[in-house]
Amino acid sequence: QKADRILTALFEVYMQEPRQLPPRVLRRAEAAGEGVPRAIADYIAGMTDRFAIEEYKKLFDPYERV
């Protein structure tokens, strides 16, 4: 349940603010014509558990140092 919550939150925030993504992810979405949702899903799928948790903290924890 926790993993589902983290991954869903990451997907939603990236959809609302695509500028939070690395530029290469957005370029890939435009170049491949696959669309932003697919590029975000692929980006999240490639994350390690540790990286996903760090990204979540960075985006949602007001006390996390960036």
Tens of pLDDT, residue by residue over 2-29, are 999 999 999 999 999 999 999 998 888 8
Q: How far is the C-alpha of 31 from the C-alpha of 12, rounded, in Å?
A: 22
The DSSP line for 2-66 is: HHHHHHHHHHHHHHH-GGGS-HHHHHHHHHHT--HHHHHHHHHHT--HHHHHHHHHHHH-TT---
Q: What is the pLDDT of residue 11?
A: 97
pLDDT at 66: 65
- 28 burial (CB, 10 Å; 0-12 / 13-18 / 19+) is middle
Over residues 45-54, mean pLDDT: 96
Residue 1: DSSP 8-state: -
